[in-house]
């Protein structure tokens, strides 16, 4: 049995903790990555204690000096973790006492690990959001600039995985870029809600020592102070919101990955992935597998699991802090690590992707212009529903004859409607087709260029705001 004598909470206990319980209770294996923000929070709290008269200037100097040495040890990989260190807070305070003596025991005055750990997590997540935002913006920029460089490429647009209408390749790329801009906006909103200071809330009732929380807020660069101490130590809305942001981002990444996986097959042959983002088969020498995209697609399930798991933990908790909340960190760390890997790979895939314009053009077929045929009749005064039916009859007639719809004669077309004339031949032009869609959001070149400029401006604004 492990002794309770050196534990932060050991005073009222006798005997020891079961070794298996020690293992279950410890979070040291994963919360070591909070070491720097834990020290950052402790330095700010020490200054607040000195400001309130709990620490002398001499005490403060010793504590800050000791914490700086601990920070150096972590950065050099020289910090030695003891078996008795159940979490990062315990480890840092234990080491501080070894360095400066009993004055280290004053640092925790009025502070609970309840408000300490959630402060650490908010600091860590705030920093991580900035890193993820940079990755996400670079990815969106790569999509937008690739779209700008390939505006003249036309290929099939699909609904229900069936050929639907001709569109620009750029329009397809931008459809994904727009979704990712919503993700970047959500990340900014999540970061704003993360930036609320819980330190000074104590365990449940608040801080009785007149700690200046506004001082702490400024010292740690938070945007606001939590309103209620009971809520502050237990709420993990910001964790769930981050995990949901990540889940929705992975939905969008998975959809893009699925599109490109399909387009990269021999059956489509629209794109080829760079060898840098592909792997082969241990048995079949000819294989080139889109593993980068498949892994992106699979990681979505991993992130969804973290989000739903955290929701399940929270839904059964009573008010204030419960040990269940220890599970929040592993979920957050895992998702941050996943996104930090996935986003640069996605950027690499898009920037190195080879497109096959000739295959895209070959995949276009006259039946995809059936809507254009209906619009031809609409422009001659026929109500759309009648025009839709007439175009459908033309499609059926061509199928009956075993020919492409554009091979029907004018007489064939007039048998369906007298409004058809020799000018119907102008319908069978894919470039003319896409150029019809000039309204904002459409696939004409002018509309696509407008989308590109709007996205460039949005990226500039988001970069300045974050």
pLDDT tens digits for 193-227? 999 999 999 999 999 999 999 999 999 999 999 99
User: What sign has the CA pseudo-torsion 72, 73, 74, 75?
Assistant: positive
Is 160 marked active-site? yes
From 3, 274, 281, 298, the catalytic residue? 281
| Secondary structure (3-state) at 319 | coil
Are 390 and 456 contacting, i.e. CB atoms less than 8 angstroms apart? Answer: no
Contacts of residue 426, defined as CB under 8 A and 6 or more positions apart, other chains included, come to: 432
Res 1: pLDDT:
46
Taking the C-alpha atoms of residue 51 and residue 66, their distance in angstroms, rounded to an integer, is: 19
Return the closest-CA partner of residue 405 out of 397, 250, 232: 397
Return the closest-CA partner of residue 8 out of 118, 108, 120: 108
Return the closest-CA partner of residue 252 out of 191, 177, 189: 177
Res 382: pLDDT:
96
Contacts of residue 319, defined as CB under 8 A and 6 or more positions apart, other chains included, come to: 230, 234
Is 89 marked active-site? no
Give the long-range contacts of residues 301-308, CB within 8 A, separation 24 or more: 302/334, 302/338, 303/243, 303/246, 303/247, 303/250, 303/335, 303/338, 303/339, 304/247, 304/250, 306/243, 306/246, 306/331, 306/334, 306/335, 307/240, 307/243, 307/244, 307/246, 307/247, 307/331
Cα–Cα distances in Å, from 19 out to 23, 30, 229? Answer: 6, 19, 33
The β-bridge relationship of strands 16-17 and 196-197 is unpaired
The per-residue DSSP string of 244-306 comes to HHHHHHHHHHHHHHHHHHHHTSTTT--EE--GGG-B--SS-TT--B-HHHHHHHHHHHHHHHH
Strands (E) in 102-171, as ranges, are 154-159, 162-168
Contacts of residue 358, defined as CB under 8 A and 6 or more positions apart, other chains included, come to: none
Return the closest-CA partner of residue 10 out of 115, 66, 95, 94: 94
Residues of the chain with pLDDT under 50: 1-5, 9
Taking the C-alpha atoms of residue 48 and residue 110, their distance in angstroms, rounded to an integer, is: 11
Taking the C-alpha atoms of residue 374 and residue 367, their distance in angstroms, rounded to an integer, is: 12
Res 13: pLDDT:
55
Return the closest-CA partner of residue 125 out of 114, 117, 137: 117
Tokens 């048995």 belong to 283
């Amino acid at each position: 049995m492990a002794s309770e004598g050196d534990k932060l909470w050991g005073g009222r206990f006798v005997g020891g903790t079961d070794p298996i319980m020690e293992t279950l209770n410890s979070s040291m294996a994963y919360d070591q990555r909070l070491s720097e923000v834990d020290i950052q929070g402790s330095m700010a709290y020490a200054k607040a204690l000195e400001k309130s008269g709990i620490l002398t200037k001499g005490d403060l100097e010793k504590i800050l000096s000791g914490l700086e040495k601990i920070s150096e040890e972590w950065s050099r990989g020289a910090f030695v973790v003891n078996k008795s260190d159940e979490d990062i807070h315990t480890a840092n305070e234990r080491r501080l006492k070894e360095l400066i003596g009993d004055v280290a025991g004053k640092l925790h005055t009025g502070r609970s690990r309840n408000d300490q750990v959630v402060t650490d997590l908010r600091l860590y997540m705030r920093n991580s959001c900035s890193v993820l935002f940079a990755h996400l913006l670079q990815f969106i920029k790569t999509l937008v600039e690739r779209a700008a460089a390939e505006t003249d490429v036309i290929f099939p647009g699909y609904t229900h995985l069936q050929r639907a209408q001709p569109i620009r390749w750029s329009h397809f790329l931008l459809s994904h870029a727009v979704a990712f801009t919503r993700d970047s906006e959500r990340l900014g909103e999540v970061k704003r809600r993360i930036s609320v200071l819980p330190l000074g809330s104590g365990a449940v009732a608040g801080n009785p020592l007149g700690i200046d929380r506004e001082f702490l807020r400024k010292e740690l660069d938070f945007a606001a102070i939590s309103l209620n101490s009971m809520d502050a130590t237990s709420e993990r809305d910001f964790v769930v919101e981050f995990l949901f942001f990540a889940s929705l981002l992975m939905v969008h990444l998975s959809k893009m990955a699925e599109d490109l996986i399909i387009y990269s097959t021999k059956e489509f042959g629209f794109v080829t992935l760079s060898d840098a983002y592909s792997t082969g088969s241990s048995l079949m020498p000819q294989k080139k597998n889109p593993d980068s995209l498949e892994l992106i697609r699979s990681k979505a399930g991993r992130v969804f699991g973290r989000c739903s798991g955290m929701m399940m933990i929270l839904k059964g908790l009573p008010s204030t802090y419960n040990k269940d909340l220890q599970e929040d960190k592993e979920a957050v760390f895992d998702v941050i690590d996943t996104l930090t890997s996935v986003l640069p790979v996605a950027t690499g895939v898009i920037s190195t992707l080879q497109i096959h314009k000739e295959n895209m053009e070959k995949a276009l077929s006259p039946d995809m212009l059936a809507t254009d045929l209906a619009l031809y009749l609409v422009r001659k005064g026929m109500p759309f529903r009648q025009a839709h039916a007439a175009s459908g009859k033309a499609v059926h007639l061509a199928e009956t004859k075993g020919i492409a719809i554009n091979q029907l004669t004018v007489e064939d077309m007039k048998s369906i409607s007298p409004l058809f004339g020799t000018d119907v031949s102008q319908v069978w032009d894919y470039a003319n087709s896409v150029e019809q869609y000039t309204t904002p959001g459409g696939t004409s070149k002018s509309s696509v260029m407008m989308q590109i400029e709007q996205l460039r401006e949005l990226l500039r604004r988001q970069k300045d705001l974050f």
